[in-house]
């Protein structure tokens, strides 16, 4: 398969290009596109054969759920149950990088049947134009091979999925750089399943208490959201997490043994938001450079720092990660 690489204006995407991509979606094909978070790999959410192609292209485990994307809450009324807290969060943060896990209204139509469904309304103009032109709810995980760092640029998608999908809409780099925040609202107590640019503090200001389960508390639970079960965001080299100011001294020890080292100093960024935006790109750069060790400065786990540390801890498997 030849993958079409089409450059689009991020703010005012060209209609002819969007219509071509929409035709592919309606025909059951796959299109990668930029969102405000990372690049997504989209298919018609209600076409089971098309959705199955996502799993094949990404080499994604079949029990790892997908997020459904639409341009407004009303598009989800027939598939998800919106309680009071879901409506409050949607009013506060949609369109935007927030995914809600809600009771599913159509389990008999899903394969396999689902008790919950993950939904979000994105804000990126290219995403919204594609949804509108296709007339579909679009199911979309990140547009990368399963387990690799998420793509924040079209070239990342091309490296992972060239020849496996029909089209890539290249709208430049994404603005947030981390996947959407995921809040589970199908039980009695809201749970933050994946932190992101919509921070825990922002969520609590709208709906009050939200639990933040530890990874160990989710073990054995059937995944209802991306990021719950499988190793994610992983570069090839082992990742070492260090306190601010320690990176270069630790790097010298490895370099003395003849090992090449990649260093990511989060403290050098003007803000943690900029560090988050750059994180996956830097991890992929280290892969391209072929470094033997990656050393990353840890950040305080508050605000968006909670999301950054979530990704860093998942990027390093328990066997590989070393925390100094």
Rounded to whole angstroms, the Cα distance separating 303 from 308 reads 9
Report the predicted TM-score, pTM, of the whole model to 2 decimal places.
0.94
Q: Is residue 26 part of a domain?
A: yes
Structure tokens at 81: 């149950």
- Residue 271 is assigned to a structural domain of this protein: yes
List, for residues 113-127, the tens digit of each pLDDT value.
678 999 999 999 999
Judgement on whether residues 200 and 101 belong to the same structural domain of the protein: yes
Q: Tell me the C-alpha to C-alpha distance, in Å, between residue 34 and each of 123, 141, 237, 241, 277.
A: 10, 12, 27, 29, 14
Q: Supply the mean pLDDT for the chain.
A: 92
Is residue 314 included in any domain, yes or no?
A: yes
C-alpha dihedral (111, 35, 196, 299), degrees to nearest 10: 130
Quick check: is 310 in a domain?
yes
Tell me, yes or no, whether 250 and 110 share the same domain.
Answer: no
User: d(Cα 253, Cα 99) in Å, to the nearest integer?
Assistant: 42
- Is 92 within the bounds of a domain? yes
Looking up residue 114, the CATH number of its domain turns out to be: 3.90.870.10
**pLDDT interval class at 320 (50, 70, 90):** very low
Q: What is the pLDDT of residue 219?
A: 67
pLDDT above 70: residue 230: no
Structure tokens at 137: 């709810």
DSSP-derived pairing of the beta strands 322-323 and 239-242: parallel
For residues 237-247, average pLDDT: 94
- 18-76 pLDDT, tens digit per residue, is 999 999 999 999 999 999 999 999 999 999 999 999 999 999 988 889 999 999 999 99
**Can you give the CATH number for the domain in which 286 is found?**
3.40.50.11030
- Kindly report the number of other CB atoms within 10 A of residue 252's CB atom: 10
Contact 211, 190 (CB under 8 A): yes
C-alpha 182/C-alpha 65 separation (Å) is: 12
Dihedral sign for Cα atoms in the order 205, 303, 192, 40: positive
Chain-centre distance for alpha carbon 5: 21
Q: Do residue 100 and residue 161 come from a single domain?
A: yes
62 shares its domain with 184: yes
DSSP E strand stretches across the chain: 4-7, 31-34, 39-44, 67-69, 98-103, 116-120, 138-139, 167-170, 181-184, 191-194, 239-242, 261-264, 293-297, 322-323
The verdict on residue 299 lying in a domain is yes
pLDDT for the residue 188 = 87
Residue 234 lies in a domain: no
For residue 190, give the 3-state DSSP assignment: coil
Q: Kindly state whether residues 79 and 150 are assigned to the same domain.
A: yes
Count of domains forming the chain: 2
Separation CA 190–CA 316 (nearest Å): 27
Distance of alpha carbon 194 from alpha carbon 123, whole angstroms: 19
Q: Give the count of beta carbons closer than 10 Å to the beta carbon of residue 177.
A: 26
Q: 210 and 113, same structural domain?
A: yes
Domain housing 292: 239-323
Residue whose pair of structure tokens reads 């991890």 in the numeric block: 283
Residue 6 CA to residue 168 CA, distance in Å, equals 6
Sign of CA dihedral 121, 124, 127, 128: positive
């Amino acid at each position: 398969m030849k993958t079409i690489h089409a450059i689009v204006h991020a703010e005012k995407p060209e209609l002819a290009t969007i219509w071509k991509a929409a035709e592919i979606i309606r025909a059951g094909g796959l299109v990668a596109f930029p969102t405000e978070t990372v690049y997504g790999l989209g298919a018609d959410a209600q076409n089971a054969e098309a959705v199955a192609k996502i799993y094949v292209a990404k080499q994604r485990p079949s029990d790892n759920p997908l997020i459904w994307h639409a341009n407004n809450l009303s598009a989800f009324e027939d598939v998800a149950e919106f309680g009071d807290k879901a409506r409050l969060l949607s009013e506060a943060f949609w369109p935007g990088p927030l995914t809600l896990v809600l009771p599913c209204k159509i389990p008999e139509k899903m394969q396999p049947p689902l008790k919950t469904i993950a939904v979000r309304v994105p804000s990126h103009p290219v995403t919204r134009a594609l949804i509108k032109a296709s007339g579909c709810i679009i199911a979309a995980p990140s547009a990368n091979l399963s387990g690799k760092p998420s793509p924040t640029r079209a070239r990342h998608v091309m490296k992972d999925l060239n020849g496996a999908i029909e089209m890539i809409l290249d709208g430049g780099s994404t603005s947030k750089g981390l996947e959407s925040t995921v809040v589970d609202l199908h039980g009695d107590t809201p749970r933050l399943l994946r932190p992101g640019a919509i921070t825990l503090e922002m969520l609590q200001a709208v709906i009050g208490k939200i639990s933040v389960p530890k990874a160990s508390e989710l073990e054995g639970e059937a995944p209802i959201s991306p990021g719950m079960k499988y190793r994610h965001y992983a570069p090839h080299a082992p990742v070492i997490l260090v306190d601010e100011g320690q990176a270069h001294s630790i790097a010298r020890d490895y370099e003395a043994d003849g090992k090449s080292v990649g260093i990511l100093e989060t403290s050098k960024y003007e803000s943690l938001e900029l560090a988050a935006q750059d994180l996956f790109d830097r991890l992929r750069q280290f892969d391209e450079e072929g470094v033997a060790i990656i050393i990353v400065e840890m950040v305080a786990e508050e605000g968006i720092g909670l999301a950054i540390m979530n990704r860093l801890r998942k990027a390093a498997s328990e066997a590989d990660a070393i925390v100094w």
